[in-house]
Amino acid sequence: MIYLIGGSSHVGKTFFSQKLMEDIKVPYVSLDHIKMMFIRSGLTKLTVEDDYEMRYFLWPYVAEYIKTCIENEQSLIVEGCYIPENYRDAFTEEYLKDIKCVYIVMSEEYIRNHVDDLIDKASVIEKRIDDEVDAERLIMCSKEFKELGNAHNIPVLKIDKAYDEALILKELKEKLEVSI
């Protein structure tokens, strides 16, 4: 099974992918790392600032990677803000039966009330270099991913009042239909 965990920056995609990996023993890959591979190798002129364009640049490569995993009957968690709302278009129904996707978002109220927490937890799994938390941008991106998820039948996990890791992981597993 392939588990796609998308959504806005700073919502915990990498953290919860790590937790899910530990729980169900399925490896994960960060699309941020794949992005940096393309940038550092010079295979794209896009930069770390070009998130929207990067989403559609990366996806054809990621989709082929996913197809290879499915063909080899290997499970994988793929996480990042680069999972497009039209991800299904890259796959036939035969592949789609082995893919589950969820977007994680945060409410505007949560972001506004927890900016310091978002900054403190930003590097809990991977080291973010020169990472600035722009609350207005996070609010806009979370709203966008929520709207895209709802419009394209992608389950949305919304962090609203509290960041209860156990409950969020439980809800994530339910939305991804993880069975152990």
The helix-helix angle for 165-175 and 13-24 (nearest 10°) equals 70
Contacts of 43-52 with CB under 8 Å at 24 or more apart are 51/9, 51/81, 51/82
CA–CA dist 64, 59 (Å, integer)? 9
What is the reported pLDDT for 128? 47
Tokens of 175: 């939305």
Domains, the chain, with CATH or none: 2-175 (3.40.50.300)
pLDDT digits (tens), the chain, 180 positions = 999 999 988 788 888 999 999 999 999 999 999 999 999 999 999 998 898 899 999 999 999 999 999 999 999 999 999 999 999 999 999 999 999 999 999 999 988 887 666 555 544 545 545 557 678 888 898 999 999 999 999 999 998 877 888 999 999 999 999 975
Please give the DSSP secondary-structure letter assigned to residue 10.
Answer: T
What is the reported pLDDT for 111? 84
Q: pTM (2 decimals)?
A: 0.89
What is the reported pLDDT for 123? 44
What is the reported pLDDT for 167? 92
Tokens of 52: 């929207």
